[in-house]
Structure 1
Amino acid sequence: MRLLLPGAGILAASLVLVACGSDNSATTPSTEGNDAGSPTADGVDASKDGGSTYSIGGTVTALKGTGLVLQDNNGDDLAIGADGAFTFSKKLATGATYAVSIKTQPSAPSQTCTLSAASGVVQSANVTGVVVNCATNKYTVGGTVSGLAGGSVTLQNNGGADLVVNANGTFAFPTPIASGATYAVAVKTQPGTPTQTCVVTHDSGTMGTAKVTDVQVTCTTSKYKIGGTVAAGLTGSGLVLENNGGDALAVDASGPFTFATSIASGATYAVTVGTQPTNPSQTCTVMGDTGTVGAGDITSVAVNCTTNKYTIGGTVSGLLGTVVLQNKGGDDLTVNANAGTFAFSTPIASGASYAVTVKTQPGSPSQTCTLTDDTGEVAAANVTNVALTCVSNKFKVKANVTGLAGTGLYLQENDGDDLLVAADGTYEFATTVASGQPYAVTVKTQPKGPSQTCEVTNGASLMGGADVTIDVTCTTNTYTVGGSVAGLTASGLVLRDNGGDDLTVPANATSFTFATSINSGATYAVTVKTYPTDLICTVSNGSGTVGAANVTNVSVTCNSCPLNEVAFNGKCYYLDGSSGACDPGYARAPQSVLSSIADSFIGKNYKHTVSGNCCIWNADPVENWGFNGSQCNRSGPFTSAPVPGGSGCTNADNQFLSQLTLCGTP
């Protein structure tokens, strides 16, 4: 009995393979090499099918390369050299399995072959449906880009397949190339921003069995010259231009110029003036001085040079008024006081000459201004060293003195410079005064002997432009005469000065002043013209010469006479039985005084001693006054006054003991 279960499965599989494209033509089974009843290589006993074996094969298509090797059941290698049918050398019995595989893929060109209907179970017929389809392998072409500076480069392979590369690094064409085919990489479009030239190396070849990665694209940026034109007007020397802060270029004359160092496309340039021209000093400016280098030389930079102009000026010292300056006889410049510097409004070209002069000297105050460093040639800067120095003119101060009678008059100018004046006349102060400065003439010391007051008229002002004369007028001072009063208890006191200018002094007054002033140097003499009632007044310090102040030291002292004395014309009188003797400080008085004071003795008494004779002994040679009746030779007081011829006293010469005596202060 045969085991069909496995066979049935194999048969079903064989049917499927045949249906999928196996060659269904009848084949003659082969028994060659197979003994009846012996097993096949896959373990199936060939005797089961009468000992027949069958070949395994198929068809190869699209094979272009060499070296394709097929296997069946991992053995029975079969080299394939071309398209067409193939058959493995080893046959298999019915029911045996086969499995065709590719041991080695073709090369030159490299291909990849694939199988279909490659395995199954032998079904009592040759297997011819194995299909081997070969396709040539394709690989990309690429490489590396270096030096690309911001733009893009367009590459081509074999005249097509444009590839835009925007950055350094690797690249690969998107369309692969079949193995064995040739490739040729070229630059279609060079970079434009910046302008570059890209060169391809390892650019062509035949595609092998792997992608190409060694194509080298090397880009270098193009460089261009920077230049332009220096316009007419360059007259100085030493002009140096710079590009980007360096690459110095000396330019000696107007015309075209070009920097030595080229600048890469896409890079910026900046043309500046490194050194301006001198002799004469000039200022050169650059137009079109900056930009970005494109795809050609820069020739549009324009340099324009103009000769510099500078102001003429300097310093001012000492100027108090207004001065007018000129430069080269014109361009008037008014310089005012306190201006520390000056500069003419019209600038002068470098290389030109200048000459500064004083056109008008200051007048208020009057000054003389001089210049130093006032001429020269303008160099490369403003002229600031012209020095204007102004000095005020000085003038004399004079004094015209009138009325001077005293000595020691000193005039003074500006709190200094003392001037002694001895008499009327015109005098000069030693120190002159600058114009515009103040002067002030004052009296430092007034004259004395006599005391005078000298007054200055218009003595202070500002000095102008000429000598000045001021007036000094002197007048003798007058002073009052007066003093103090003491003891004035009654009215009637009249004082007199210099025999006139009477002054009535009221009772109880303590001071007095005569109304009429006295010139300094004049004399005064104060006397008592009229004495107050019952008082005697004496004057001390009553005469002298008026000095330089009011006289206030005249002293008037008034006193009452002692008990039982009568006051008259500043003297005290008394009666006493003293036989012609008087108290110390007293003396016999003339009897004529009795005509004025006789009645004043009524109520008085003897000074010391009662008289023994009623005739009054006096300073005269004889006595003509006496008391009548009982009015004497007894204790008082007297009740009546002595009278001429009293008690028969007429031309008497009585000098008896206790003789009544008239005494008075000298």
Structure 2
Amino acid sequence: MSRPFFSSAVLVGLLSVVLTACGSDPKPPGEPDAGGGGVPSYSVGGTMSGLRDGAQVVLRNGEESLSVTTNGSFAFSQKVARGAAYAVTVQSPPEGASCTVESGSGTMDNADVTSVAVTCGANTYPVGGVVSGLSEGASLELRNNDGPVLTVSANGPFRFPAEVVDLAGYSVTVQSSPAGHACTVERGAGTVNGSAVTDVAITCAAHTFGVRGSLFGLTQGQSVVLKNNGGDAITITASGQFVFATPVAFGASYDVTVEAVYPVACTVSRGTGTMGNQPVTNVSVSCKTTRFSLGGTVTGLLPTSSVELTNGSESIRVNVDGSFVFVGPVDDLSGYSVTVSSPPMGQACDVRNGTGTVSGANVNSVVVTCWASEYPLGGSVAGLSGGQSVVLKNNGGDALTVASNGSFTFPKPVSYWSTYVVTAEARYPLICSVPNGTGRIGVGGNADVVVSCTTRSFTVGGEVAGLVEGTALELWNNEQERLTVSANGPFAFLQPAADLSAYSVSVKTQPEGQSCEVRQGTGTLGGATVKSVSVVCSPNSYLVRGTVAGLGDGQSAVLRNNGGDDLTVSADGAFAFPTPVAFGAAYSVTAQATAPLVCTVSNGTGTMGEGDVTRIEVLCGTASYPVGGSVSGLAEGAMLELQNNGDEVLPVSANGAFTFAQQVAEQGSYSVTVKTQPENQRCAVSSGGGTVSGAPVTNIVVTCENVYRLRVSVSGLTGTLGLKSGADALTVATDGESSFPLPLRPGEAYAVEVSRHPMGQTCEVSGGTGTMGEAHVTVMVACEANAMVFRVGAGATALNSNATEVFIDEYRPMGGAPVRTFAIPSSNAAGAARLTVSGGDVHQGHLSRSGNGRLLTFTGFDADVGLANVSATTASERPRVIGQLDLAGTFTLPVRLSDAYDRDQVRAASTVDGTGYWLSGRGGGIRHALPAENTTVSTAISTGVADTRFVSLFDGRVYFSLGTAPNPNPQGYNQGILTFPTEQPTAAVAPNQLPSLSTVFNSSGFALLDERPEVAGVDTAYVSINLGRGVGQGETPDMLRLEKWTFDGVSWSRVSSFVPTFAVAGTTIVPIATHGVSAVRTPRGVRVYVTTYQPSGGGAGNLLVSFLDDGSSFTPSVHVVATAPANTSFRGVSASPLP
């Protein structure tokens, strides 16, 4: 509690002093008091120090009290007489302080007393309290306010040495708790209030910490009991971490023990000690179980098979006959049960002695026995026609006759993993192949064997002539397949006919207004396409008829058709021109009369249809009126032609009124149409038809508006291209700019697309869709040659060294189904020329485009399909032949050699224009031959070089690739490309190697181009490489092994950074070798076609790929155009021939 500054007695005294002072007048020093007998009196005072601001001290002298509130001088108001005593004391000190008086008493002399000194100072008190809970040996550090630290080492009272000034605050805190303890302070803060602070309470308590650790070695189903200090038991059922529920106090002891039952035994590490200042976490309990191995034997497994055995939660896989042991041993005294959890693929297994209890020893008595399952073998047959059948066999037996398309299953099942070989036997012209007929039977059997049958067939066709444009003729073959022909020229039925079968082409439906006759329409196919059927059409003719009205007596009119065939009519009624008009031809009837007679013709013009024209009307009369109207919107300088009744033509060159010169008779009809539209405008006629009725016709309105041309800019075109935009069609035959016939108004949409590709080419439209604005639009169209690829084999049997049939397939640059396929005759039935090649020799079958671009040439043997080891035959018994194909697919055999490549391979041939040929092969080098009807001989050209591969003409010069260098080799020839001193040699001469152009690895096909105008002749080469190195040899997958070389006028150098790369990652897992090469310039760059090289199996299943080398990348993107079907192979490749 606070204390009052003054007592009530002091206040009364002070009040009396003040009242006394107020009632008397002060006197100067030494002045005697009134009535005092003249004794002088003086004041008593001094100085005050140490008084705090706001404090007050009350001094007393005699009966007077003086309150002092500031340091400095002070004086009592009541004077003391000379000789009287004074005694200044502290009546009431300041709160919380004490004051002392010096020189405060004495006897008054003859002057004022000013030497009294009063000094004040604050009171101080000690701060302390009691500590409890402190463990023995522990010490605690306390602090009061910011004073010095007080260390307390025992429970009981404590006291800070430094006292605190009265009325000042104190704050006792724990500066540092003792180790392993937590201490709290109660009543530790407050204000000193006139006495010592003794009630601060410090309470300490020791920390507790958990005991934990890890247990190892327990298996499923086992448990142990852990205890700490003989209690706090916990049961552990799995290896891992554990923690006791009851913590242990700091400084207390812990002792972990374990209780286990056999076959489990456990030991404890780091399990005892005294609890420190943190949890115990490293107690380790290690358990072991007495165990024994479990195993046995497995028998009956097939090679590469495996069986999965399971005991409890453990499974093992056994892949060979013999003993087995589970990886994990089994606890002693526990049970086991071995089962087959996953039997071997295609097998079943049985387990004996698989269950029991382990009894103090290893178990090795489990027996597993496996055996193979049997599964059905089948598949599907496709390609059979009515009446055809094929005999299927498995491993040469179990014959099954199949007479219809669909699924089949062999009668006998096949044991799992045993080999099956399915073969197909068919009678020509039916040819059947089994591309996936060999393998091992899998689980569930195999129902995927594919038997693909084809009937050796050829198309039947010929030529149509005389057909009127815009009409169609319907033909049929054998009164079954129909074919609509809408243009003159070659035709062929879409469905090929089986070889050796009869054909009979006839007219199913005659074209409108025409009669067509079939010549050479019947026959029997003989191993080649039929192109000899001739269909000749001629138009029918019909009369032009009509009626005349309005002639009076004695009047006549002269009618004319197409400006002639005059017919005079002198009476109303029917008329007919004497000369008929052929179907599809135009007719135009006019009438002339002598004034004042006027005759008007209605329906007088048109194109002759199928039947007489009968609706022409001629109206005559003496009254006639002009016909006219107005034109608006016609552009300045433009010319519009109007026509009335298909007769009079009126040119109009300005907006405004117009009138036809020829009047129309009264009640005659008029029909005004636009005959010729103005350039870049479209005009429409409204109110243009009607009947003249007693007055001139002036209400015909012709409105014109601007239109704009839809143009195409075509590049690379070599044939005839058909384009369309909606209903508008355009035929383009040359490079450059052309326009669609129908111009478009602004806002009209257009969509240009190819309606018919040129033969042998593919054209691509760029920017072909949009909306017409107020300017002409030009759409870009780029055309390029298709690929022609030499395919060996029909797919019926695997390729081998026997004579094999040949096909020429045509593909578009980006792939898809073949555009056309030409079956090269392989039988001399009916005297047809034939050509076959060795199915297993990858270097046979190169394609070369002639120097003039119009022919494809290739080589082979004059031998029937199936002749064994055809390359080993002599040229005298099986002549080496040159085949030739033009753009239309016409096949000829211009050369049959009896003296070249004897018992060896003929590989390629080339020509400028079909008047002479250069051949390549192994063992005969480059040879020259002239065309002949019968067997002929050739001239050896390449002196010193025998093994040659591809030969062709580029830029008018003969080039060839070298297979292997000659031995001896005095000229130092290397693998690469060679030529001759003269462009087209016809006599023996030593060839020259292209400067520096030699390849490290074998090459075969190549292509040369003249790309740089500053270098004379060819300067760019694309060269095949017949070896695909592995990834470990510094190359990567998805690469095409094709080299690009360039010539600077002195030497050739390889573009090492040029690496064609497949666009689809994962197409190949190794760099893929190349074989046939073709390169042709297109509007967008050089189009390169390549066949891949796979010597195994003759290259069966290889690829035809393509890329565009436009100079923008050294890694042009390669895409797959086509994959050779099973049992076939792509060999040579060329751009399609020119028309």
With normalisation by structure 1, the TM-score equals: 0.44
Which protein shows a greater Rg? 1
With normalisation by structure 2, the TM-score equals: 0.28
Higher relative contact order (Cα pairs below 8 Å, separated by 6+ residues): 1
